[in-house]
């Protein structure tokens, strides 16, 4: 009886030692995974040729703004999306569509509500929206389309993105 208990303890110690060695040599990543930068130039050219409205994208943002996602869907209300990781590690995106304005804004701002506050950016009036998940700047006075700059980024970063938007 004593011999079998001793054998079990030795077996357990050997298993713990083997697990420790495996754990020591397994590669570990520290922190968040690296977000890959996407090249959106071809998608932007395609969207600008196909869309019935002036498709915008930021120009002149510092390299710390990392483009992470892009898509244009002609069949789905001509929707344009370009997402970025900001220098503060937050998310900011420009969204455009010719779809129903209210539904589009609600969807892209994650149900954020208008604050009543507006701001002038490049001579255009943008409305501020605040929400639980996303905040947004919404440009509604463009005929035929709606432009939304939205995300988890601060209003300062959202404003920088909106200031950098160019149609051509």
Candidates 107, 120, 118, 112; CA nearest to 81 is: 107
Candidates 70, 65, 68, 71; CA nearest to 33 is: 68
Tens digit of pLDDT for each residue in 12-71? 888 998 888 888 888 776 666 677 899 999 999 999 999 999 999 999 999 999 999 999
pTM to 2 decimal places: 0.80
Q: Determine the Cα–Cα distance for residues 127 and 117; give it in Å rounded to an integer.
A: 6
Contact 118, 132 (CB under 8 A): no
Complete domains list, the chain, with CATH = 41-166 (3.30.200.100)
Contact 138, 107 (CB under 8 A): no
Contact 114, 128 (CB under 8 A): yes
The runs of H, that is alpha helices, within 26-120 are 41-50, 101-108
Instruction: Inform me whether the pLDDT recorded for 141 exceeds 90.
Output: no
């Amino acid at each position: 009886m004593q011999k079998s208990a001793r054998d079990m303890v030795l077996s357990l110690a050997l298993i713990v030692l083997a697990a420790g060695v495996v754990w020591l040599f397994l590669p570990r990543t520290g922190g968040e995974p690296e977000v890959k930068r996407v090249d959106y130039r071809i998608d932007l050219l395609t969207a600008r040729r196909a869309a019935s409205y002036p498709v915008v994208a930021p120009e002149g943002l510092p390299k710390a703004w990392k483009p992470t996602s892009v898509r244009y869907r002609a069949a789905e209300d001509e929707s344009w999306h370009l997402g970025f990781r900001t220098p503060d590690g937050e998310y900011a995106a420009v969204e455009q569509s010719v779809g129903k304005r209210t539904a589009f804004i609600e969807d892209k701002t994650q149900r954020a509500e208008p604050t009543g506050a507006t701001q002038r950016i490049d001579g255009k009036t943008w409305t501020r929206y605040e929400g639980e998940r996303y905040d947004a700047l919404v440009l509604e006075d463009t005929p035929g389309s709606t432009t939304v700059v939205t995300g988890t980024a601060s209003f300062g970063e959202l404003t920088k993105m909106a200031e950098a938007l160019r149609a051509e």
